[in-house]
Amino acid sequence: MQKRKLGKNHLEVSALSLGCMGLSFGFGPPVEKKEGIALIRAAVELGVTFFDTAEVYGPFTNEELVGDALAPFRDQVVIATKFGFKIDPNTGQQAGLDSRPEHIKEVAEASLKRLRSNYIDLFYQHRVDPDVPIEDVAGAVKDLIQQGKVKHFGLSEAGVKTIRRAHAVQPVTALQSEYSLWWREPEREVIPTLEELGIGFVPFSPLGKGFLTGKINEETTFDKNDFRNIVPRFTPEARKANQAFVDLLRKIAERKKATPAQIALAWLLAQKPWIVPIPGTTKRARLEENIGAVSVNLTPDDLREIESAASKITVEGERYPERLQQLIDR
């Protein structure tokens, strides 16, 4: 597996990470614990060294799964987790945002126990909290770094003004935000800002929540607990309209003897040397397929062809329902 470095802090990780959320949360029922552990350990065997989780995935159960799976390899891997949500102790549900410094430090202690570790490699603010100055957030993480409990500070779905303000207090190693061939908003302001400041980029949903694999069409039905049921971009009408992206990927894939998913990931890897996508999966075959994207070489001509064709396609549907759009920092 090729390695990449995130940011000026030179956090070295595998070129592809494993997003672990879907093993416990978001895409239907959680997998059996032994299956989740087997998948994560298979990723280690295949060269993945970067694993992404969060306290809110489950909540809590995903961190426990990742901690158990990676305990034998702890010094060989990089674990990213996140803070920033309030979790109702009675219902276990998200109950708004909470990035108060004292809460950040409480979350860190609890995450360390669940991860079976005495340090967190990369600690992201999961969503920007408009009620807490980002300087206070960065200061709290800086304290944790000085204590040796955290190694690197990250932000998720943060806008450029927030990124700059946070970075001035505690250097930001990585930004995690959605980025793929069908969500290219970061190219406007975010990616140039990251390049200027020397911050790595970790795109989540690099396969468009599964759509860019070519395995989903307008007739696909999702489990009742799958959050894609409420995503406007996944209505049957939107899926039918957005099939043009899959057709484009499939055309390139056939020529490259690859799959649409591999082309989607290879396209991301080709954008910048400090971009590390985090596709998630619950299946070993998909894990192996995703990792195969690292070996797909897209030439300048291939990239120009993709760019030209993609620029003529209009994406149908918002990427989040309105209530979740409000959690995105501008």
Residue 324 banded pLDDT, cuts 50, 70, 90: confident
C-alpha to C-alpha distance for 106 and 135, rounded to whole angstroms: 18
For residue 190, what pLDDT is reported?
Answer: 98
For residue 327, what pLDDT is reported?
Answer: 72
Q: 240 in a domain, yes or no?
A: no
C-alpha to C-alpha distance for 281 and 293, rounded to whole angstroms: 14
Question: Is it the case that residue 28 has pLDDT exceeding 90?
Answer: no
The pair of three-digit structure tokens given for residue 250, joined into one six-digit string:
């499939």
pLDDT tens, 52-92?
999 999 999 999 999 999 999 999 999 999 999 999 887 88
pLDDT tens, 137-161?
999 999 999 999 999 999 999 999 9
Q: 133 in a domain, yes or no?
A: yes
Domain region containing 137: 3-210+262-296
Question: Is it the case that residue 326 has pLDDT exceeding 90?
Answer: no
Q: Specify whether the CB–CB gap between 5 and 37 falls below 8 A.
A: no
Instruction: State mean pLDDT over 123-130.
Output: 97
Residues known to be catalytic: 57
Q: Specify whether the CB–CB gap between 97 and 127 falls below 8 A.
A: yes
Residue 41, C-beta contacts closer than 8 angstroms, at least 6 positions apart: 69, 73
Map residue 317 onto helix, strand or coil: coil
Q: 237 in a domain, yes or no?
A: no
Question: Structure pTM?
Answer: 0.96
- Give percent of the chain with pLDDT exceeding 90: 92
What's the CATH code of the domain at 163? 3.20.20.100
Residue 252, C-beta contacts closer than 8 angstroms, at least 6 positions apart: 258, 263, 298, 302, 305, 306
C-alpha to C-alpha distance for 64 and 43, rounded to whole angstroms: 17
Q: 41 in a domain, yes or no?
A: yes
Number of structural domains found in the chain:
1
Taken in order 294, 14, 122, 167, the sign of the CA dihedral is negative
Q: 155 in a domain, yes or no?
A: yes
Question: Is it the case that residue 330 has pLDDT exceeding 90?
Answer: no
pLDDT tens, 209-235?
999 999 999 999 999 989 999 999 999
Q: 311 in a domain, yes or no?
A: no
Q: 254 in a domain, yes or no?
A: no
Q: 218 in a domain, yes or no?
A: no
- Give percent of the chain with pLDDT exceeding 70: 100
The pair of three-digit structure tokens given for residue 19, joined into one six-digit string:
């997003």
Residue 30, C-beta contacts closer than 8 angstroms, at least 6 positions apart: 23, 24, 36, 58, 61
